[in-house]
DNA sequence: CATCTATTAATAATTGTTCTCTTTTTATTT
DNA sequence: AAATAAAAAGAGAACAATTATTAATAGATG
């Protein structure tokens, strides 16, 4: 069995275990996110799936990303460009967004110290909040827009 | 001269130095932001100014915050709640947002290590971006929503 | 004082997202 | 394998935040 198929089988199990039905649309949306590195928004997912699923509506994609988010299979990114992007990598990693073209990239292997349990506790004590998650965004000009 | 008046005089000079006209509306919007701790969005600013400036329109506030942002007197906060909030404190400090009620608070005096010149350089080298700014958001449940 | 330009206010238009309703599909039980 | 109930998809209207357009107004400039 191919690695790719194996991954998808796992997703099916995650959905079923949460009593959420497995549909072609859901698998397709997840597949787009899993196989892309550009953190697409709903419209980009829509356009990507159009050829293969011409009947699929925007509303379905909105509903699907919401479900996938609730289940914890994807996470939202909001860089303030007006639409929400999605990332199938749900680990807590920083992102960098281009203020010219909107492009969003992951930042890997950079030593970002905060966010350990220690910091979380400190913030909870000082603010009175219960901290659930965090997002670190950098903003700048991407290589392409420099040209 | 009162401290408050002094602050406003300075703002006037900043605007004039950038060839931007000083108008009652602009001063009023800035004043709301400078004297609030709740990081209001456009609608909250609008409602706040309604009694004193009943003729002021939402569009004016949208344009005003844009001008103030360009000039560097305020910064945007986007916690993904659907509308943009504004902060007259333009220093680089983290924020925490309540996922229940949307409330946004500053995080002060917490030891957030990143963001020094060293990290910036590392990110620029690894990503090819020119880094201009960053935003660190925490999300959780605020004290009020816990009750 | 007259003119020129920037700003305001009102309104229309746009965009991303959500909602409602009907039809279709899925998972389950015979 | 067919029947069934529940969930999901599809279509389009509705919505809310924001932006663009326009005409009127105010301030600055010569």
At A65-76, the pLDDT tens digits run 999 999 999 999
What confidence score (pLDDT) does residue B116 get? 59
Mind spelling out the 3-state secondary structure of B100-133?
Answer: CCCCEEECCCCCCCCCCHHHHHHHHHHHCCEEEE
B110 contacts in A (CB within 8 Å)? 119, 122-123, 126
What confidence score (pLDDT) does residue B11 get? 86
pLDDT value at B31 more than 60? yes
Instruction: Give the one of B79, B105, B127 whose C-beta lies nearest to A127's C-beta.
Output: B105
Give the HSE-up count for residue A68: Cα atoms under 13 Å, Cβ half-sphere: 30
Instruction: Give the one of B126, B139, B142 whose C-beta lies nearest to A133's C-beta.
Output: B139
Q: Does domain A1-88 have CATH number 1.10.10.10?
A: yes
pLDDT value at B115 more than 80? no
Would an 8 Å CB–CB cutoff place B110 in contact with chain A? yes
Segment among B13-22, B31-40, B45-54, B114-123 with least mean pLDDT: B114-123
Protein residue closest via CA to C1' of D11: A57
Task: Using DSSP, state whether A141 is helix, strand or coil.
Answer: strand
What confidence score (pLDDT) does residue A22 get? 96
**Judged by CB atoms within 8 Å, which residues 1-30 of B form the interface with A?**
none
Burial class (CB in 10 A: 0-12, 13-18, 19+), A112: middle
- Name the β-bridge partners of B41: B85
Task: Give the nucleotide with minimal C1' distance to the Cα of A67.
Answer: D8
pLDDT value at A7 more than 70? no
Q: Which nucleotides of D are covered by protein (CB under 7 A)?
A: 7-13, 16-21, 27-28
Domain ranges in chain A with CATH number 1.10.10.10: 1-88
Contact B140 A126 (CB under 8 A): no
Mode of pairing for the β-strands spanning A95-98 and A130-141: parallel
Contact B132 A110 (CB under 8 A): no
Would an 8 Å CB–CB cutoff place A132 in contact with chain B? yes
As a rounded value in angstroms, the CA-to-C1' distance for B23 and C7 is 8
What confidence score (pLDDT) does residue A10 get? 85
Query: How large a percentage of chain A has pLDDT more than 70?
Result: 90
Domain ranges in chain B with CATH number 3.30.1490.190: 91-147
Q: How far does B65 lie from chain A, in Å, by closest CA?
A: 15
pLDDT value at A55 more than 80? yes
Q: Where are the beta strands (DSSP E) in chain A?
A: 75-77, 85-87, 95-98, 104-106, 130-141
What confidence score (pLDDT) does residue B110 get? 79
Q: Does domain B91-147 have CATH number 3.30.540.10?
A: no
């Amino acid at each position: 069995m191919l690695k790719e198929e194996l991954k998808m089988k796992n997703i099916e199990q995650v959905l079923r275990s949460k009593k959420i039905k497995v549909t072609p649309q859901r698998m397709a949306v997840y597949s787009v996110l899993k196989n892309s590195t550009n953190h697409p928004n709903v419209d980009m997912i829509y356009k990507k799936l159009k050829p293969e699923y011409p009947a699929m509506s925007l509303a379905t994609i909105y509903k699907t990303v919401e479900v996938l988010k609730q289940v914890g299979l994807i996470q939202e990114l909001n860089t303030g460009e007006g639409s929400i992007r999605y990332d199938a990598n749900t680990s807590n990693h920083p992102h960098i967004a281009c203020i010219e073209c909107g492009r969003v990239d992951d930042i890997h292997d950079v030593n970002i110290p905060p966010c350990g349990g220690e910091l979380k506790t400190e913030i909870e004590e000082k603010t009175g909040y219960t901290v659930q998650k965090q997002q670190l965004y950098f903003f700048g000009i991407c290589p392409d827009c420099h040209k």
